[in-house]
Structure 1
Amino acid sequence: MVQFHYPCPDCRTTTSLHAPDCRFDGTPWHEIELAYTNILSTLATGAKREGHLREQSPDRWDRLHSAALSRLRHDQRVRETASGALELLSPAAFREQVAVPTQEPLQTIYEEGSVPGCHDHALFALIAYYEMVGFSWGDTRERVVDWLRESGTWDRGGFEEGSPEAVVDSKRHVYIRGYGWRQAAEEAAAVIRRRR
């Protein structure tokens, strides 16, 4: 099941502890959640052009609303229709859309698989990505275990654990802690590209 935790539109935290340079540090958490719920509740009634979305928002539209909408678009929770309206993706459509990473350097890791020398970073990046987009630990575990097998990563060797399941289980702390994926993905993809 895909979950949504109302991340800060700037630093992505899901608590009131923001990054030091976050432009919403000090904003009461209920205001952040309210901006999201204003957008989501309005779009839940049907697709709307951005101007109409702003007009129909239950509360006055402000920079927090604009940032929340931008985050929803970036995180692929909201998309633009062919007619230019914004629509909220259903949980099933969202899950399908983000199940296969299309953003570099994750795409390289996902499509080519990992190689010895970067397994730790590749696994870290994929687990962190699935956590970030809201997959449960069970779904994340299943997807990464399947990826280990289907990408050929498991067959390349280089693991101390005896099974793909044990490898993924040993990285559960990445999911629990909610680490970011970008640095690990960049390092893993660089190794993969050098081995092509």
Structure 2
Amino acid sequence: MKKIITICAFAACLTGCDDLFEPAIENNLGLEYMYENSQYAEGILANAYTRIPCAGYSFNDVATDDAVSNDAANSWRKIASGMWTANNNPADRWTSCRSAIQYINLFLANADKVKWAKDEVVAQMFCDREKAEAYGLRAMYMYYLLEAHAGYTEDGVLMGVPILTEPEVAGSNFNVPRSTFVDCMKALKEDARLA
């Protein structure tokens, strides 16, 4: 009798866990979700806003040699004590600006497919405004990238950063060479004009 009860209890446990052997689908929304949900589309663009380098308070007062901090894990303290690395760089602009540009490019590639409003005229006006914001943000992020990463080559050519105007996907070429500073400024000015 004990054996039958044990088998029944085990069977009941297995029937209660439908995803025990096959995991449930994750709750991740795809880009297609934005076509019918304009708030999701705005969220993609808002993600670029969160990466503005000067948007938060920078606690870089402790970035001097005579700084005192009780937090041993403080990134600025690590810089002041000679432990500045690529993985520990609180002044990093590359990662945040490139991430923002990726979100902006995703937004721009899909903005015309979004149902912004029921009225077509209102929807187009809203789409134009959102795209203008995106172009303005992309120009600003190009400025921040140039400010932090532009420089001269050994032969005296002023170089900028790679110019990306399309969203990167898994199969993209991630070894895009640096563009000249002049080309970067042209791209920045074009985005500002579009904004």
TM-score (norm 1): 0.28
Q: Which has the higher relative contact order, 1 or 2, with Cα contacts under 8 A spaced 6 or more apart?
A: 1
Look at both structures and tell me which one has the larger radius of gyration over its CA atoms. 2
